[in-house]
Amino acid sequence: MVELKLKSSQWIVNEDDNIIIGKGRMEILENIENSGSINQTAKMMKMSYKAVWSKIKYSEKHLNTKLVYADKKDGTRLSKEGKDMLEKYRLLKKRCMTADDKIFRSIFK
């Protein structure tokens, strides 16, 4: 029998099923945290600056909080809420994958 494995994704969405945070926004926040730049993040992710900035702003609007601070002098950094959201999402993904793997193994043993 062919070996099977499970792949799953988690998205946190609003009431209209629009993504507030998922894998892509997690990568955006991680890249901003590492590079200190929205421009560098856009280049690393092969996205336009506007697309990255729009995704950040959309999430901030629906969470009603600032996730990223951008300043021409000081650069770009995650706010406390941005760091918290990133950590909570990482934890969510980890726990979901652990649970998903357990369920998968129990069914496809």
Residue 69 lies in a domain: yes
Residue 58 lies in a domain: yes
What pLDDT, on a 0 to 100 scale, did the predictor assign at position 73? Answer: 86
Residue 6 lies in a domain: no
Q: Report the predicted TM-score, pTM, of the whole model to 2 decimal places.
A: 0.89
Give the relative orientation of helices 23-35 and 49-63 as an angle to the nearest 10 degrees: 110
Residue 54 lies in a domain: yes
Residue 75 phi, psi dihedral angles, 5° rounding? 85, -160
- Domain total of the chain: 1
What pLDDT, on a 0 to 100 scale, did the predictor assign at position 99? Answer: 96
pLDDT tens, position by position, 17-47: 999 999 999 999 999 999 999 999 999 999 9
User: CB neighbours of 82 closer than 8 A, spacing ≥ 6?
Assistant: 29, 66, 67, 68
Residue 108 lies in a domain: no
Residue 13 lies in a domain: no
What pLDDT, on a 0 to 100 scale, did the predictor assign at position 101? Answer: 94
Residue 87's CATH number: 1.10.10.10
Residue 93 lies in a domain: yes
Residue 69: its H or E element: strand 68-71
Residue 74 lies in a domain: yes
The residue segments making up the domain with residue 77 are 20-101
What pLDDT, on a 0 to 100 scale, did the predictor assign at position 84? Answer: 97
Residues in the chain, pLDDT under 70: none
